[in-house]
Structure 1
Amino acid sequence: MTDKAIQYTCYAEKTPKEREKPRTYKLLQEDSLCKENYTDFFTTLLYLEEYDSKEKIEQYNMAKVPLKIVMENRVELEVPGLAEKRPSVVKGDKVLVRVCFNEDLVSTIQYEGVVAEVRETVVWLSGFDNALLIQLENDPTLHFDVKFVFSRYPIYVMHRALELLEQEGLKNLVYPDPQDTVPPRPIELGQSDYFNPLVKMNPEQKAAVENILRGTSRPAPYIIFGPPGTGKTVTVVEAILQVKKRLKSRILVCAPSNAACDHLTQRLISFGCTNSELLRLHSSSRDIETVPSDIYPYSNMHKKMCFYQPRKDELVKYRIIVCTLISSGRLVPEPSDDDEVYHKNYPFTHIFVDECGQAQEPESLVPVAGILEPPCPRNPGGGQLVLAGDPLQLGPVCNSMRAQQWLEVSLLERLMSTCELYKRNADEDGYDNRFITKLIQNFRSHPDILYLPNELFYDGDLIDKCGPEVRQDPLLSTSLLSSKKPGRAVLFHGVIGYDQREGKSPSHFNTYEVGQVMWYMNLLLGSEARVAVKQSEIGIIAPYIRQVYKLKKALQEKSWDQVEVGTTETFQGREKRVIIISTVRSNRNLLDYDGRFRLGFLVNQKPIGVDSAAIGLKLLKLQEDEGLKQAKPSGCLITEFGKLHYIWKKRFNVAVTRARSLLIVVGNPHLLEKDKNWRALIQLTQLQLDSYKGCKFHPFDDTWVDNVMERMSTLRLKVEDE
C-alpha cells in the first residue's frame, strides 16, 4: 500500500472534528491526475468512496422492525427514506438480521441475506437460511435488528486492477501514445462477409468493425462513440462475431449491469452462437428470477437452479464469455502454477466493454488488468480493448462527494476529452477512425425529436434514418394533439403547478402536472382514443421518486399498469414509442435544494452563454422549411452551450432521446427557461414546430410568474386553514 493510500486509510479512524481539517484533501488538491500518479490517485479515491459508502449505508441500520413473508423465499422490509437513494440500497447488497425476543434480549444467531429487489418504500430480501423463514412463518409478529452491510468486493477488485495495471506495465491503455501503435493486420471484409447485412450498408458501423478486426489502434483502446439510436450494440455484436470467426481469439464481453450483459448475450445467440462457445457468467449472488429464460442454457447454472463458479479448465473451453465488469474480476488468475499456465496458454485477446460511459474508470479496468493479453513476441501489440458508449449521457454514480469530481467521469469520457487520439479534428471536421468511430445514423427517433439533442450535444452530425412507421406514425395527427401543423413529434405543455413533498424526503411531487399527464394518457389510451397504442409503448419520466409514485397510483386507478413510469436513470438505454416527461419543479427557490441532493432537471443558474433572441431568429428563418432534416444548417445551430459534464445536462439529453414517435413535455416554462437546454426546447416548440400549449409564456417575464406563484401560495394557505 502506498504512503498516500495509508494517509487516507488512517482518515477513516479520525474523529469527525479531525476529518474536517483541510489537510485531509491535501493530496487531491495539490496533485492532478497524470500517468505517473495514476495508481496512487485512484487508489486514494477508492478509499474515500469505500469509507463514505460504508458510513452512509450504516446510518440506516434499524432495530426492532418487522419482516413480512411475501413469497416462498422472500421477505419484505420497509425502509424509511428509501427515496432518491436515501439510503443507497441496491440489488445484491448484503443484509444481516437478528431476532429480537424482547427489549433486552436479541438472538446471538445472525442470518445473512441479500437485497433481491428495491421497490417504492420497501426492499425484498432473499437468501436467508430456512430456519429464519420457519421462525417468521410460525410467529409473524417477530421483530428484528437489521444491519445493512457495504459490500467491499467491487472496491477490492478495482484496487487489484490498479495494482496489476502498474505491475504489468499497461498504463498505455489509460494514457495512449500514438508512437506505440503497431501495424494493423491485413484483413479486408467482402460484401457477403457480414453477419448482419445492415452493418455493411452503414459506413460508420462498417469502419468500426473493420478497424477493430485489423487492430488499427493497438495497443491503445478502440472507441465506438454511439449516440442514442445509432446502433452501438449492433456494431459491438458484429465486431465480436467477426473477431471470433476470423482471428485466433478468446473474447471477454463486459458491461456495468446484468441487463446490458443479458441483452448482448441474447443478440449473440440470435446470430448462432452455441452454448459450447458462449458462456453467460453470472455472479453467485444474482437472483435467478431476474435472468431471462432463453439464456439459461448458456449460463453457469446448476440443474438445481443456482449459479456456480466454473473451474479454470472449464472456462478455457469457451470462445466468448459475457459478464459484468465486477464479475470479470473472478477471471483474474490467482498466483498458482495452474492459473498462470491457463492464462499464458489461453489469454483473452479481445475485451469489449459496452456502456463504458456508465462505469467508473477503475471499474472499467477490472476486466483488463491481469486478463487482457499483454504485448509479447507473438503479439507485439497485445490484446485489443474496445470501449463502447456515449460520454454525453448519464455517467457513473459515486457515493463520496470528495471523490465525485473524478469517479463520476468514465474512462471513455476522460479519454475523449483529454487524449488527442480521440478528440475531434477541427481541421478535418471528424475523428481519426484508426482510434475512434462516431456512429451518426439514427434509426430511433422522428426528425423533430432528434433535432435538438443533435444540435446541442452531437455537433449536428446525426442523420435521421427512422422508418416510415415512425415518420408517419398516426399518433402525430392534428386531431390527436390539436397542433396547428400536422406531423409534429415534440410538444411542450406549460403548467404553473405547485411543489409539494411528504415528511423530510427531498423528493417532491406536483399534482397539477400529474393531472396534465393523465389528460394526455386519456387521449392515448382512453375510450375516445383514435389511434391504437399499447400501454407498453408508453413511458413516463419524472426526475423525483415521489412524482413517480403519484403517477403510478393515478395510472393504477385507470388499470393502466403496463405503462412504465420511472426516473431518467431508469430509462437510460431504453426507448418507447411515446415518452411523456413531467419536470415537476415550479418553485425556483428550491433549485439550491435540488443541487444539494443532485435531483431534478436543472440547477440554480442565470441564463448565460446563449442569446435567446439570436436562437429565436435562427429558428424563425427555418419556419418555411417543411422538415427539420432539410432545415438543418451546415454548422451547429447553438454553439455555446458550455461544458457537458454536469449531470443535469446529461439527464436532459437522456430524457429527450428516449422517444421514437412522440415526445410530450409537461412543465413550468418560466422556471425551465432558466436552463439553456430547456429554453432551447421551449423555443423549438414555440418558434419552429408551433406545438407549444398551456400557460402563457414570454421569456424572462419574471414579474408575471412571481405574482401568479404568490397568489397560488396564498390560495393554498387559505384552503389549508379552512
Structure 2
Amino acid sequence: MASAKIPITLASYRERMHQFLYVEEEAQQELVARLNLQVQGTLSSKVQTSAMGMKFEAQGKSHVKGRIPCFLTPDTDQGSLLSRAVSTAYVAPIPAPDNRVYEVQVKVKTTSELSVWLLLPAQYCSALRLEDGDSQLMEIQFQIDRMVFGKWHQAIDALHNERVVVPNIPACSLPSLTPPTQEIFCNAKQKQAISYITGTASGKRQVSPLLIYGPFGTGKTHTLAWAALEVIKQPNTKVLICTHTDSAADVYIQEYFHVYVTTGHPEAMPLRVKNIESSFHETDPTTLQYCCLSEDGCSFRFPTQDELEQHPIIVTTTTSSHNLHVPPGFFSHILIDEAAQMLECEAIMPLAYATLDTRIALAGDHMQSTPKLFSVGDRKSADHSLFNRLFQYYQQETHQLASQCRIIFHENYHTTKAIIPFVFHNFYGASKIPIEDSGIPEHPWQYPLMFCHVFGTPEKDMSMASWLNKAEIEEVIKRVQEFYQGWVYQWGSPDQKQICVVSHGSQVKRLKEELGKEQLREVVVENFENVPGREFRVVILSTVHTQDSLLSNSATHLEFFNEPQLLNTVMTRAQSQLVVVGDLTALCAFGHCREIWKNFIQKTFEQGNVLPTYLKMKDVEQSSLLRLAWQNRLTPGTAARENFLEKEDDYNVITSRVSDSALSGDDPILQELLDEGKNVAEIVPEN
C-alpha cells in the first residue's frame, strides 16, 4: 500500500488506521476465499475434542465432520487463519437440490489438523434430509470472523482525542523529574522513566507518551510496576496497567504487587481483570486472590464500577480493557507493557479512557514476538505497532523534547552473563554487546547453554492434531531431575517452580503427566505462548520434531524452526541455564532458524556441554549434506512443504554473516540501542 510510506498525521490518523484494517481484513479474506473445499462430511450427534480425542454429546445439535487437505496445516497462512480467525462457513450440498446456501458455525476448539467440525442447526439437517451417521458431499466456504476487526475499528473511533497518539511535541511539556519517594532498586535510566511517569506537568500542556525500549531482562516490567506504586502515593490517581498476554499481566501480581500489599501496604491492593473465558484452573492461586470471580468462585467475571473505583491499580490485557466501560479521564495513568507485541489498534483500546491529561507510558521490544499480519511482510509487522510508530515519530522530530520522551534500557539484570552475548548476536545482530554484570549466578561447573541430541520417533496424539516425542520426554525428565537434585547453593533454595519446560501441543500435556509421576509436579510446563513476561532459573526447551517428521506433509507446530522472534522470546526466559532437547540435524537443516540453531549448537560444542558426549561438530556440518539429499528426493507434495519451510525473504533471521551496521541501518530503533551502548563502560565481545 503506497500510503503506508506516508507519515500518519493528526488529520489522517483515524482514516489511515481504518484503512489499514480494511486492507488486512481483505488480505485475510482473500486467503480464506481460496478455501473452497469439497469434502465428504459425516453427520454426528457427538463432537470430538482436539485436545483429548474424546467425544461429547452435542446437546440436541448435529455436527458435520469433514477431512481437511494437508496444505491447511496451522503452519501455513491459510491453515493459521482457519485455526484462529474463522468462526463461520457457507455450506451447500453436492449436488444441490436448489440454490440455497447455509451459514454454519465452525467449531474451532474441536477442529484438528485432519478434520474440521461444523455445527448444523436442526432445521438445516432437516432441509438437507441428513440423519446421524449419514455422509454427504459438501462444498464449504470459510468466512473470517469480523467481530475482531469490528472491535479494532471501534477502538479507533473510541479515542477521545487523536493527540493522545499523535502528540504535537513542540507544544508538549516535560514533567518535573522528581526522585522516587521510597527505596527502589533501579539504575539511572529506570529512575528517569519512573520520574517521567510520576512527575507533575507544568500548566495544562500535554505530556507526550513515554516510550521505554529495552531488550530482554532490562527491567521494563520492574520499572512500570514500581512507577505504578509511586503514582498511587499521590492524591486522585488511579493506574491502569495493560499487557498483551495474560501471563505477563499475572507477573505484575505475583512478583510485585502481592509482595508489596502483604508487607504492610494494603492500600495498594490491585484488581486483576481477566477475560471471562480465561481458564480458571490454569490461573495460579496468588493471582486468583486479586481477580473478580463469579458467585461460585469457579470462573471469572468483569468488575463492577464500584470495584474499579475501590482499587488504585487495575491490571488486565489490552483486549480485556475493552470491557471496563469507564469514562475518559477515569485513569490518571495508563501503562502498556509488551507494546511492541501488539497491533496499534489493540494498543489503543485502553487509550479510549485517556485524555490529554492522562500520563501514558509504553514499554516493549520489537525483536520479540510480533503480530502476525497477512497484508505486509513479516519484517514489517512490527511497524504496525503503536510503540514502533511513536518511536520512529519521535526520532524524526527535531525538537529536543522528542529525545526526552524515549528511554533506552540496556543493562540486563535477569540473565547470566554468558547467555546475553549469544542472544544479542543472533537476535539483535550485535557482535559487541553493551552490558554490565547482571549478578545472576551461573552454574559453578556447567556452561549456561546446553544441547541434548535426541532423535526419537515423533508420533501423533489421539486427535491427530499434535505430535509427541517420547524420547525427548525421557531426556527432559533426566535434565529436570539433574538440575533439581543437584541444585547449587548459588541459586538459593531448591525450587521446582524455578524450572520451566517449554514445548507445544500434546507434548506439554504428556510432560506434565510424566513429571508428576516423578514427584516433580511443581515444575512449570508451558506452551511457548504462555511464557512471555516470565523468568526461570532453568529453561528446558523440547523441540519435538525430527528430520523425518519435518518431511511429513502433516508436521505441525514448526515455530521453533521457523520463527526467530518467538525463539528469542522463549530463550530469554532463562536466567542461569538454557537447555535445548532436540534433533541436531533437523534443527540445523530445516527452517528460518537453522543458522541460529547452528550457532547455538556450535557454542555448546566449544564449551563441551553437548550430550551425548560422543557427538562431534562434524555432525552439524553434515546437516547441509543431508539437506541436499532431502531436496533431491522430495516428492511433489513435500516439495510444497519444503518451499514453505525455506521462504526467507521477509524473515528477520540474523546470522554471523550479517554485520551490525547492515542490520541496524535497516532498523532505526536497534541503531539507537547500539549508539546508546557506546557510552557503557564495559563492552563484551560475542566470543
After TM superposition, the score normalised by the length of structure 1 is 0.61
User: 1:241 Cα deviation (Å)?
Assistant: 1.4
User: 1:421 Cα deviation (Å)?
Assistant: 7.0
Give the Cα–Cα distance (whole angstroms) in 2 for the partners of residues 156 and 270 of structure 1: 39
Secondary structure of the 1:662 match is strand
Give the Cα–Cα distance (whole angstroms) in 1 for the partners of residues 285 and 435 of structure 2: 36
User: 1:449 Cα deviation (Å)?
Assistant: 1.8
Which residue matches 1:271?
A: 260
Amino acid at match of 1:231: G
Amino acid at match of 1:320: I
Which residue matches 2:597?
A: 678
Give the Cα–Cα distance (whole angstroms) in 2 for the partners of residues 261 and 238 of structure 1: 14
Which residue matches 2:415?
A: 445
Amino acid at match of 1:32: K
Question: 1:663 aligned to 2:578?
Answer: yes
Which residue matches 2:192?
A: 207
User: 1:601 Cα deviation (Å)?
Assistant: 4.3
Which residue matches 2:355?
A: 373
Which of 511, 515, 518 is equivalent to 2:471? 515
Which of 214, 223, 227 is equivalent to 2:211? 223
User: 1:682 Cα deviation (Å)?
Assistant: 3.6
Give the Cα–Cα distance (whole angstroms) in 1 for the partners of residues 599 and 193 of structure 2: 33
RMSD: 5.9
User: 1:185 Cα deviation (Å)?
Assistant: 2.8
Secondary structure of the 2:617 match is coil
Q: 1:176 to 1:499 in 2, by over 3 A?
A: farther
Give the Cα–Cα distance (whole angstroms) in 2 for the partners of residues 349 and 590 of structure 1: 51
Which residue matches 1:64?
A: 43
Which residue matches 1:5?
A: none
Question: 1:241 aligned to 2:156?
Answer: no
Q: 1:148 to 1:234 in 2, by over 3 A?
A: farther
User: 1:417 Cα deviation (Å)?
Assistant: 5.0
Question: 1:351 aligned to 2:342?
Answer: no
Give the Cα–Cα distance (whole angstroms) in 1 for the partners of residues 369 and 451 of structure 2: 23
Secondary structure of the 1:463 match is coil
Q: Are the aligned partners of 1:552 and 1:565 in contact in 2 as well (CA < 8 Å)? A: yes
Secondary structure of the 1:664 match is strand
Give the Cα–Cα distance (whole angstroms) in 2 for the partners of residues 275 and 54 of structure 1: 49
Secondary structure of the 1:159 match is helix
Amino acid at match of 1:67: V
1:201-236 deviations in Å (ceiling 9; x for gaps)? 533322221121126895322122343233322211
Question: 1:696 aligned to 2:616?
Answer: yes
Give the Cα–Cα distance (whole angstroms) in 1 for the partners of residues 271 and 135 of structure 2: 40
User: 1:245 Cα deviation (Å)?
Assistant: 0.9
Secondary structure of the 1:464 match is coil
Give the Cα–Cα distance (whole angstroms) in 1 for the partners of residues 479 and 384 of structure 2: 41
Give the Cα–Cα distance (whole angstroms) in 2 for the partners of residues 48 and 598 of structure 1: 27
User: 1:528 Cα deviation (Å)?
Assistant: 12
Moved more, 266-275 or 350-359: 266-275
Amino acid at match of 2:316: C
Residues 208-607 of structure 1 aligned to structure 2 (within 5 Å): 208-214=193-199, 219-246=207-234, 248-266=236-254, 267-272=256-261, 278-294=270-286, 298-305=290-297, 315-316=308-309, 318-331=311-324, 343=328, 347-369=330-352, 371-374=353-356, 382-398=357-373, 405-406=380-381, 409-417=384-392, 419-420=394-395, 434-456=404-426, 457=428, 460-467=433-440, 470-471=441-442, 473=443, 486-493=445-452, 515=471, 518-519=474-475, 521-522=477-478, 524-525=480-481, 536-542=497-503, 545=505, 564=524, 568-583=528-543, 599-601=558-560
1:468-510 deviations in Å (ceiling 9; x for gaps)? xx33x4xx5xxxxxxxxx3422123567x5997869x999979
User: 1:372 Cα deviation (Å)?
Assistant: 0.6
Give the Cα–Cα distance (whole angstroms) in 2 for the partners of residues 559 and 535 of structure 1: 10
Give the Cα–Cα distance (whole angstroms) in 1 for the partners of residues 259 and 3 of structure 2: 52
Give the Cα–Cα distance (whole angstroms) in 2 for the partners of residues 528 and 364 of structure 1: 40
Give the Cα–Cα distance (whole angstroms) in 2 for the partners of residues 360 and 658 of structure 1: 23
**Structure 1 unaligned residues grouped into runs of 5+:** 1-27, 97-103, 105-109, 126-140, 334-341, 375-381, 426-430, 477-485, 604-647, 715-722
Secondary structure of the 1:447 match is coil
Q: 1:521 to 1:554 in 2, by over 3 A?
A: same
Which residue matches 1:619?
A: none
Secondary structure of the 2:154 match is helix
Q: Are the aligned partners of 2:113 and 2:464 in contact in 1 as well (CA < 8 Å)? A: no
After TM superposition, the score normalised by the length of structure 2 is 0.64
Give the Cα–Cα distance (whole angstroms) in 2 for the partners of residues 316 and 349 of structure 1: 12
Q: Are the aligned partners of 1:249 and 1:349 in contact in 2 as well (CA < 8 Å)? A: yes
User: 1:263 Cα deviation (Å)?
Assistant: 3.3
Amino acid at match of 1:492: F
Which residue matches 1:131?
A: none
Secondary structure of the 1:230 match is coil
Amino acid at match of 2:604: T
1:247-280 deviations in Å (ceiling 9; x for gaps)? 5323222122333333324533432365897443
Q: 1:408 to 1:183 in 2, by over 3 A?
A: closer
Amino acid at match of 2:176: R
Q: 1:31 to 1:271 in 2, by over 3 A?
A: closer
Which residue matches 1:20?
A: none
Q: 1:592 to 1:572 in 2, by over 3 A?
A: farther
Which residue matches 2:626?
A: 706
1:571-622 deviations in Å (ceiling 9; x for gaps)? 333333332334566659979999x99944456xxxxxxxxxxxxxxxxxxx
Which residue matches 1:653?
A: 568
Secondary structure of the 2:579 match is strand
Residues 138-157 of structure 1 aligned to structure 2 (within 5 Å): 152-157=146-151
Q: Are the aligned partners of 2:343 and 2:384 in contact in 1 as well (CA < 8 Å)? A: yes
Identity of aligned pairs, percent? 21
